[in-house]
């Protein structure tokens, strides 16, 4: 099975329209090309990137349906080469995505990807997370393999609106991190994720403020 067929099968398994495949494959091709020079990701094989990057990023898409339908906003913190933010922006055109990354070469790549793909609902923010000074601006923040839950909240919790949520992508359920959540935050849900083509365990941990509502 080639990348296109694997991606289309994965999109179908995730309940996503296969019409998104061309844009996702265009992003993948750009990432593979830039990766040869700029070392944006340790995964070099485009086939491997389909499951470990694209489909892994998209496994959480249903948790953003309500926010996207309302034209809401997501900040992808420490996004690297744009994962999960760019794939999510492609499949959720109603979602306003800010791609927050301090590494200059990764930010340059993302600006090129956003321009090439015509992603009007995505913008690149070249900044350290804690220096991104827009408190209360986002309905949700996310992070994929960035840091522990307490550290994500320490760096980026200020970005959430009242009632906003952290949607943290994790492997096994991080019981230790959950137990160490800072005061004022609580786990609202832990959602098992199935990633087509990956046997590894995946979970989405939804965290909100103690008296905030869950709008995910």
Question: pTM of the entire structure?
Answer: 0.94
Asked if 207 and 187 count as a contact pair (C-beta separation under 8 A), the reply is: yes
Return the CATH architecture of domain 62-209: 3-Layer(aba) Sandwich (3.40)
Residue 165, token pair as written in the block: 């949520």
Per-residue pLDDT tens digits for 63-85: 999 999 999 999 999 999 999 99
Give the pLDDT confidence score for residue 123 in this predicted structure: 98
pLDDT class for 42, splitting at 50, 70, 90?
low
Burial string for 61-76 (b: 16+ CB within 10 Å, else e) reads bebbeebbeeebbbbb
Give the pLDDT confidence score for residue 169 in this predicted structure: 94
| Backbone φ, ψ for residue 137 (5° rounding) | -95, -15
Q: Which residues contact 99 (CB under 8 A, 6 or more apart)?
A: 76, 79, 82, 85, 86, 110, 114, 122, 123, 124, 125
Which helix (DSSP H) or strand (DSSP E) does residue 98 occupy? strand 96-101
Give the pLDDT confidence score for residue 216 in this predicted structure: 44
By C-alpha distance, which of 192, 85, 75, 191 is closest to 139? 75
Q: Average of pLDDT values for 190-205?
A: 94
Q: Which residues contact 8 (CB under 8 A, 6 or more apart)?
A: 18, 21
Per-residue pLDDT tens digits for 11-35: 999 999 999 999 999 999 999 999 8
Q: How far apart are CA 183 and CA 92, in angstroms?
A: 33
């Amino acid at each position: 099975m080639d990348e296109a067929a694997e991606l289309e099968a994965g999109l179908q398994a995730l309940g996503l329209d296969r019409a998104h495949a061309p844009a996702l494959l265009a992003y993948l091709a750009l990432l593979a090309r830039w990766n040869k020079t700029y070392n944006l990701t340790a995964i070099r094989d485009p086939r491997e990137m389909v499951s470990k990057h694209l489909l892994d990023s998209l496994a959480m898409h249903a948790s953003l349906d309500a926010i996207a339908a309302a034209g809401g906003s997501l900040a992808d913190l420490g996004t690297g080469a744009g994962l999960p933010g760019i794939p999510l922006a492609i499949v959720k055109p109603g979602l306003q995505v800010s791609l927050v990354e301090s590494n200059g070469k990764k930010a340059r790549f993302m600006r090129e990807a956003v321009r090439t793909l015509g992603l009007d609902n995505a913008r690149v923010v070249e900044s350290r997370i804690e220096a991104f000074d827009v408190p209360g601006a986002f309905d949700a923040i996310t992070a994929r393999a960035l840091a522990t839950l307490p550290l994500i909240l320490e760096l980026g919790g200020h970005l959430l609106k009242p009632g906003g949520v952290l949607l943290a992508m994790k492997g096994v359920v991080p019981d230790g991190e959950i137990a160490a959540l800072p005061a004022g935050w609580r786990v609202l849900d832990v959602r098992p994720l199935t990633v087509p083509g990956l046997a590894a365990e995946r979970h989405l941990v939804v965290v909100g403020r103690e008296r905030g509502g869950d709008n995910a």
